[in-house]
Every structure is written in C-alpha cells, then in structure tokens.
Amino acid sequence: MLAFSVDSGLTVPQSAFFIGAEPHPALKDWNNLTGWQPLKPLADSWERAGFLREDNFPDRKWPLVMVLPGKSRDETLGWFSAARDRLEPRGVLVVSMANTAGSGRFEKELAKATGKIVSIQKHKCRIFHATEDGTWNEEIFNEWRSLGEQREVSGFTVQAGLFSCDHIDPGSQLLADHLPAHLHGHIADLGAGWGFLSDAVLKRCPKLLRLDLFEADARAMACAKKNLAGDDHEIGYHWHDITNGLPGVYDAIIMNPPFHTGQATNVDLGRAFLKSATNSLRRGGKLLLVANRQLPYEAVLETSGLAWRKITEDRVYKIIFAEKR
C-alpha cells in the first residue's frame, strides 16, 4: 500500500474522496473520507477500517480527490477523469504511485491536462498533485473518460483493467473448447471475470440447472450481467472473495484461477481457489480448470483427495479435470 504523504504543502480538508481506496494507519484520524474500491478483498478491509464506501462513483464533489493507480494505463487515466469530475472548483487532485507502476509517465500525462503539477518522491513512490484553476484541458479528460468506460470486445462488454479486456484469453478459450457437455445441475464459475466461461457453460451444457458466478471485481460482475443478460437460466452473481470459501455446494465448478495480485505472481491465490472449490463440491462433483502449464496445482488436488487427469495441453496451458471422491 502506498501511503499518501501530507508533507507536500497540501492543506488537508475535512472531507475527501479516494479512488482505489486502501486503508492505511496514516488515514485513521480522517473521519470524513469516502472510498471507492471495486476489488472485494480491499473494499472489505477499507470498511473494516471504519471508512465510508460507495459502490459506484457518486454524483458529488469534494475539495480533495486522491487516486491510487489501477492495473492498466487506460484504467488509471479513466480514474484521473473520474477524479476530475468529482472535484470542487479550486479542488486538489492527488495521485500516489510506485515508481514501478510508471509514476513518472503518469505524472507527465496528468501535467498535459492540468499544466502545473507539484511532485515529490519518497520510498520509491511519487506523489503528485494539481489544483483546479479553470484552465485544465477538458478535451484530454474527455478522452481519458472514454478509455475508462465499458467497451465491446468480440461481442462481449468489457472494461479497462479487467482480465482479458482486449482479447479473449487463449487459456479460457482452450477450456471453453474442452467443456464437457455432461456438466449438469448447479455449476459455479470461480473468478468469473466478465463472463466468458459462464457464457460457454450456458451455451454448451444443456443439463445446467443454475449457474453461480463468483468474482472479486465489481466492474467485471457488471460486465458479466450485461454479457449473460439474454439467457433464460437461473443465474446468481456474487461479488465475493473466493479465498473466504463459497456459500453453496456444487455439482460442477469451472475456473481459470488468477495467479497475480496486482503486478506480483501469487500462486497461493490459485491454491486458495482450488481449496474453496474442493470444499464446495458435492461427492462425485466435477472440477474443470485451466492453468499455465508450470503452475503446480496438481499437488493441491492430490492433497485434497480429488482424482484428476489432464485432458489436454498446448505449449502454454493445461486443462485439468478432477472429481471429488
């Protein structure tokens, strides 16, 4: 987590809005701080720390709006626009970024739109701010706003910052191509993203009774709802942290588990997905997953007592089918 520094000459106002909100001890005395955070685990920790949270960007303005970056350029620039839209006249837009996230590049981008920027560097991070003075280049903010909006890829609604937001993921495609038509009953899609695998299940598994999508990113869930809107099956959408387990029991589970947290590789996250899936499968329940070939998920299946086999692989991905005994 990047701490916002207040030693940059800024007067800290009573209230502020925080885009990409994450709790930090330095914020603890700030009562009137409203956060927006689309990722469930971080939204939960923000609320646990006692701060206010909004599900969507509110239709309000603040004297100070703070931004922590998203994962992609378009997403972060979209957030700069969202911040600009929520600033009162003479308000201050503050961005804090790790150098490894491209802080120098983003500072230059923001300077193009705002002119004067004040910047300090500390702890391998850059914190930069600009004060709205009526001279900002609104055309640039308009362009960034559209980068952050939902868009179409291969007939699906997606949004910058989501997994596979500019192409269908080849691993997910491989799994969709090998989806057994006999999967039936109550099926769950773990880490459902904008709904590519769910769409494949709905189209290819005629004995499906109900499909539950579990996803940590609220924006991905919103896209999935649009992408699956034309289907008549019973579908549940759950903004949910899968590492906390699942609320239901399933006949089959499909997934392309994540193995990144932010920029860092995190195989434990994929392992936690497997554990939650194993705990929520009925006896005889089926698990179908795709993973990069080098990821060591077979060991987790072994220790969880699932019978598994690899049903196909290519140069990059493997598809594993497992059954709970």
Ligand X SMILES: C[S@@+](CC[C@H](N)C(=O)[O-])C[C@H]1O[C@@H](n2cnc3c(N)ncnc32)[C@H](O)[C@@H]1O
Among 216, 253, 277, 287, binds ligand X (CB under 6 A): 216
C-beta of 98 vs 269, nearer to ligand X: 269
Answer yes or no: are the C-beta atoms of 183 and 214 closer than 8 Å. Answer: no
**Least distance CB 195 / ligand X (angstroms):** 8
Residues 264-323 that bind ligand X (CB under 6 A): 269
Interactions with ligand X, residue window 165-204 (CB under 6 A):
169, 172, 191-193, 196-197
| Among 90-98, 105-113, 136-144, 234-242, the segment contacting ligand X (CB under 6 A) | 234-242
State which of residues 79, 217, 286, 300 lies at the interface with ligand X (CB under 6 A).
Answer: 217
Q: Which stretch binds ligand X (CB under 6 A): 42-50, 54-62, 235-243, 297-305?
A: 235-243
Asked if 289 and 256 count as a contact pair (C-beta separation under 8 A), the reply is yes
CA atoms of 250 and 324, how far apart (whole Å): 11
Of 101 and 158, nearer to ligand X (C-beta) is 158
Residues in the chain: 325
Dist. CA 220–CA 193, nearest whole Å: 5
Tell me: does residue 241 bind ligand X (CB under 6 A).
yes
Smallest separation (angstroms) from ligand X to the CB of 20: 15
Whole-Å CA distances, 321 to 30, 186, 199: 50, 17, 19
Q: How far is the CB of 203 from ligand X (least distance, A)?
A: 15
E strands present in the chain:
15-19, 32-36, 52-54, 62-67, 87-98, 118-122, 125-131, 151-153, 156-158, 185-190, 208-215, 234-239, 250-255, 260-261, 264-265, 281-292, 306-313, 317-324
Q: Which residues bind ligand X (CB under 6 A)?
A: 41, 163-164, 169, 172, 191-193, 196-197, 214-217, 220, 240-243, 256, 258, 269
